[in-house]
Amino acid sequence: MKRSAKAYAVMIAAAGVVLGVACMALTVKGWMAGNMAEEVFTFVMLAVVFILCRSLPLYINPQCAIDMSFICIFAAVLVKGPVVCAALTWVTLPFIFEPGPDKKGWKVLYIFSTQPIKALFNTGNQVISILVAGLLFELAGGVPGVLTLPGILWPSLVFIVPVILLNGAILMILFALDGQVSLKHAMAQHFLDFWPNLLAAAPIGFFIAYLMNQNGGEYMALLFMLPLLLARYAFKLYLDSKKSYYNLISTLSAAMEAKDEYTQGHSKRVEEYAEKIGRAMHLAPHRLEELKVAALLHDIGKIGIDDQILRKPGPLTAQERATIENHPEIGLHIIEGNDFSDRIKSIVLHHHERYDGGGYPGHLAGEDVMLEAYILAVADTYDAITSDRPYRNGRSTDVSLRIISEEAGKQFHPQVAATFVALMSKENGTAQE
């Protein structure tokens, strides 16, 4: 981590510690001013809800996980206000656990098995976001414990939007300082990714808060957590099935490439390049996922091509080239009977089309071809140029990027080519005209 990013992380963590301690002190003071036994009981029950919601996140991939933390945060703000909610965030931190990815497989992660700065930064981020958004909630007329509809709707919205924006901004500033993302684009993507999820989670948080406002409602709220945990388990099964589906495709792709040492790993590298371009061009998550699957499958049709043609060490004859150019249609024939989307099938079929219409198999041009197919074309070509072949050595990054840049608007979609050249030039510390 860069020095500026580390200093920023320490600042957020320190601010979170100070605010967390202050909120806990104010919470205890509130207990002493009221019915202490009742207040402590409610706090403990909310703490249990916090632990259940914040533990056991589901990993979409090793770098991205989702949990139900917003449900408990929103419920606590509605019932007891932002100060108590911030105190709960700190008090429950040592009890949060999760199965997390590890180099040797999976292990249980908790506060004492992760980097302290990471845990403190994330909790500090939550505390700051809760307190700022909670202040706006109260300024908008929200009163903790008063859940009358429709009056509570406006204060709730005033809380939800700022908490998303502020939480994302604090995190994305860290990534930007570390040189990982563009702040503007990262914030836009964060909002688009999390807004629907949090908006859908808000009614659940409201319902838990409503239950806790009833006589004996704390027990009902805990009972309500059971179907939520069941839903989590069902979603985990779905994610596991998706992972198995992806692994099967990867295995099929690797098996196809294993017969030629010069193409081993080609589809996986193409997938990685295509994903980089797709992210840089802000493709929606479902389109990015389809692009990755199509990248792994794009050469599956070569199973139907004679090995002597595929491995030929010299130039191909016109007839041999025509045979090779059948592989997108063969690939489509192989996958069309399976449960792949029409978009994936189209990407596989048209990844050799040219922007000027000189490609194959459909000789399509311009916007008649999906953007994802153009992305795959650039990724595929770059890996082919930079990889060794029986008849030539792979070319350097500079030469390969220059070729792609020169073919922008001809072989390649100009925006896709420009995006990829800029990405790879930045990664390799080179400048492209």
Task: Tell whether the model's pLDDT for residue 4 goes beyond 60.
Answer: yes
Task: Tell whether the model's pLDDT for residue 431 goes beyond 50.
Answer: no
In the chain, which segments carry CATH 1.10.3210.10? Answer: 258-428
pLDDT score, position 114: 62
Task: Tell whether the model's pLDDT for residue 351 goes beyond 90.
Answer: yes
Q: Please tell me which residue, 233 or 335, carries the higher pLDDT value.
A: 335
The answer to whether the beta carbons of residues 183 and 172 sit under 8 Å apart is: yes
Sign of CA dihedral 329, 334, 338, 344: negative
Q: pLDDT tens across 61-108, in order?
A: 554 556 678 888 999 999 999 999 999 998 888 887 765 555 444 455
pLDDT score, position 414: 94
Q: Please tell me which residue, 261 or 116, carries the higher pLDDT value.
A: 116
Number of helices and strands (H, E) in the chain? 17, 4
Question: CB neighbours of 202 closer than 8 A, spacing ≥ 6?
Answer: 70, 74, 156, 160
404 SS3 class: helix
For the ranges 222-236, 251-265, 275-289, 330-344, the maximum mean pLDDT occurs at 275-289
Q: pLDDT tens across 295-319, in order?
A: 988 888 888 878 777 777 777 788 8
In the chain, which segments carry CATH 1.10.1760.20? Answer: 3-239
Tell me which residue of 152, 98, 92 sits closest to 127, measured CA to CA.
Answer: 92
Name the region of 393 (left: φ>0; alpha: ψ -120 to 50; beta: rest). Answer: beta
392 SS3 class: strand
Q: Which DSSP symbol is given to 2? A: -
Question: CB neighbours of 61 closer than 8 A, spacing ≥ 6?
Answer: none
How far apart CA 268 and CA 136 sit, in angstroms, is: 47
Q: Which DSSP symbol is given to 150? A: T
CA distances from 102 to 8, 108, 114, 348 (A): 27, 9, 11, 34
Q: What's the CATH number for 258-428?
A: 1.10.3210.10
Q: Provide the token pair at 152.
A: 């509570």
Q: What's the CATH number for 3-239?
A: 1.10.1760.20
Task: Tell whether the model's pLDDT for residue 211 goes beyond 70.
Answer: yes
Name the region of 391 (left: φ>0; alpha: ψ -120 to 50; beta: rest). Answer: alpha
Q: Please tell me which residue, 240 or 318, carries the higher pLDDT value.
A: 318
Q: Please tell me which residue, 345 or 1, carries the higher pLDDT value.
A: 345
For the ranges 125-139, 171-185, 256-270, 273-287, the maximum mean pLDDT occurs at 125-139
b/e 107-125 (16+ beta carbons within 10 angstroms → b): eebeeeeeeeeebbbbbbb
Question: CB neighbours of 213 closer than 8 A, spacing ≥ 6?
Answer: 79, 145, 147
What is the pLDDT of the chain when averaged over all its residues? 82
How far apart CA 169 and CA 331 sit, in angstroms, is: 44
pTM value?
Answer: 0.61
The answer to whether the beta carbons of residues 375 and 277 sit under 8 Å apart is: yes
